[in-house]
A and B are shown apart, each in its own frame.
Chain A
């Protein structure tokens, strides 16, 4: 079946440092979604990317969809302790959402 890999698996950063997680698919994607899950919490939708090469920003978060629509990235500028959590990319395969493996972000004050 379709697999979605994310790297890195874990990332520890000092508060104020930048952070990037990458999402790679074995097949071309029609769209990609990003979710954030806080420790002990549930996934919360962040954004959806549809167009090749698309870049979207949400305050300190920048989301990018690759030109070939096989990869995506999430970049956080100047991390804060509130950014702690696991970030999942996810894609729809027919009628179901397939989650990436996730990147767990830890921010040290």
Chain B
């Protein structure tokens, strides 16, 4: 059974058109993360939630926002996607900070 689910798996949007990616988890983990991964690169952390506490990475563009309405769900909003935002977006969870992270299958975003 899938533990970290991401929808959609593939998303195509137009330059400047807002897009929302979703992540849900059945693990009841406290921490949820959003990563951006470009081709042949390591995942890059955008932000994470520890419960309801939001932690933004210093170099995450303002264009990226996140919401966590409850323990199970977390959303990534890209307000005005640019061509450089085309990437795989990975959601991950962990029981607590410092623990093993469980990744979802990712959403591949294409920006036309």
Q: Is B70 an interface residue (CB 8 A)?
A: no
Interface of A is mostly: strand
Interface size (B, Cβ < 8 Å)?
21
- Total A-B pairs in contact (CB under 8 Å)? 41
B48 touches A99 (CB 8 A): no
Which of B55, B97, B102, B105 is the one whose CB lies under 8 Å from A41? B105
Interface size (A, Cβ < 8 Å)?
17
Give per-residue flags for B75-112: 1 if the beta carbon is below 8 A from chain A beta carbons, else 0.
00000000000000010100001101111111000000
Give per-residue flags for A43-68: 1 if the beta carbon is below 8 A from chain B beta carbons, else 0.
11100100000000000000000000
Q: Which residues of B contact A (CB under 8 A)?
A: 33, 40-43, 45, 48, 50, 55, 57, 90, 92, 97-98, 100-106
What are 18 A-B residue pairs whose CB atoms fall within 8 Å in the complex? A41-B105, A42-B103, A42-B104, A43-B90, A44-B103, A45-B101, A88-B42, A95-B48, A95-B55, A96-B45, A96-B48, A96-B55, A96-B97, A97-B33, A97-B45, A101-B42, A102-B41, A102-B42
Q: Which residues of A contact B (CB under 8 A)?
A: 33, 41-45, 48, 88, 92, 95-97, 99-102, 104
